[in-house]
Amino acid sequence: MKQVVLVFRKPFEGQVSIEYLFYSLSSYLKEQNVSIINRQLSHYSKGLLNRLRNVFTITHYHKKIIHVTGDVHYTILGAWFSKRILTIHDLGFMLNKGPAAKFTYWLFWIYLPVKFSHQVTVVSENTKRDLLKYINVENSKVTVISNFIDAIYKPVVKPKCNLSTIQLLQIGTAFNKNISRLLDALEGLDCVLTIIGKLTDNLKKQLKEKQITYRNLTDLSIDDLYLEYQQADLLCYVSTLEGFGMPVLEAQATGTPVVCSNCSSMPEIAGDGACYVDPYDIASIRNGIEQVANDKQLTAKLISSGLINVRRFSKDAVAKAYHKIYQDL
């Protein structure tokens, strides 16, 4: 029987996506005669001492498959006596860094972990391309295994979208979510914007200045998040960078039209089920939202195409792909 240790970061507030993905896969893998140990690190990945402690934690597991599930890539350096798998979700941590910090992240989050791993998985072809910009690695060592859409997300009958009362949904508030440009695009539009995630003081100030009616929710359960998708007329997801873009699939599976960026991983993930906009162009964002809100035929097409698209991201297919990785080591 294969023995696999799934290594998880100690998540900061609001960080749950990686954990939920792999915890959900554990039950399937156990049915396939794989022994799974879920190991959440005891220390936040912040500061040199905490990170050294995290690396030391991994040294306790000998002769097992160590799978670092994301974010804390450097911890794989502690798995000297094991087969090693590293999952990379995105490389956004390399952006907006000074030279010294950028080199540190390149060395301990990319170069050494990738070289030390027996196998690397990435969640999209876009993430694979980004990875290869930073390191030369043989193609056979890097496998694309997407995320999957949870079965809870199912289509619901929605009321007709009315521009004067449009309900917009935004998931996430990190810098790459591009919320500032989204708010510029929404100025003067009669809408209610629901933002999931902690708002910065600057974003609160901008919301007030633009006189945008909004709701701000944090730490939602998956059931509560599903309810927000049901109540939304459309999802706004105009990120400048995404390793995958799970909210796109969650919206599509719920039957919620999607307006998203035409860059990074979004076209790969959203397929034909989205209205694409230039995330750096405020007018493009505004036009995309108004187009979907006003054009009933377009909305129906996006919903239909989205429901077809999500079939590509089944839990069984993702679990089987990881199972094959484990069996081949």
Buried b / exposed e over 281-303, threshold 16 CB at 10 Å, is ebebbbbbbeebbeeeeebeebb
Judged against a pLDDT cut of 80, whether residue 17 lies above it is answered with no
Rounded CA separation 120/141 (Å): 6
Judged against a pLDDT cut of 90, whether residue 20 lies above it is answered with no
Rounded CA separation 120/91 (Å): 14
Rounded CA separation 233/229 (Å): 8
List Cβ neighbours of 289 (8 Å cut-off, separation of 6 or more).
166, 168, 185, 186, 189, 234, 236, 259
38: three-class secondary structure by DSSP: strand
Q: Where does the pLDDT of residue 307 fall: very low under 50, low under 70, confident under 90, or very high at 90 and above?
A: very high
Q: Given this model, what pLDDT does residue 295 score?
A: 94
Average pLDDT (59-87) is 94
Residue 147 φ then ψ, to 5°? -80, 170
Q: Helix axis angle, 179-186 relative to 282-294, nearest 10°?
A: 60
Closest CA to 177 of 84, 88, 243, 267: 243
Judged against a pLDDT cut of 80, whether residue 31 lies above it is answered with yes
The CB-side HSE value for 196 (13 A sphere, CA atoms) comes to: 22
Closest CA to 26 of 4, 52, 41: 4
Q: Given this model, what pLDDT does residue 21 score?
A: 85
| 203 touches 229 (CB < 8 A) | no
Judged against a pLDDT cut of 60, whether residue 34 lies above it is answered with yes
Neighbours of 218 (CB within 10 A): 12
Tell me the C-alpha to C-alpha distance, in Å, between residue 250 and each of 98, 227, 246. Answer: 35, 11, 6
pTM, two decimals, is 0.91
Rounded CA separation 83/230 (Å): 43
Q: What is the DSSP string of 159-216?
A: PPP-GGGEEEEEE--SGGG-HHHHHHHHTT--EEEEEESPPPHHHHHHHHHTT-EEEE
Task: Give the pair of three-digit tokens for residue 164.
Answer: 């004067």
Structural domains in the chain, CATH included, are 2-148+314-328 (3.40.50.2000), 163-312 (3.40.50.2000)
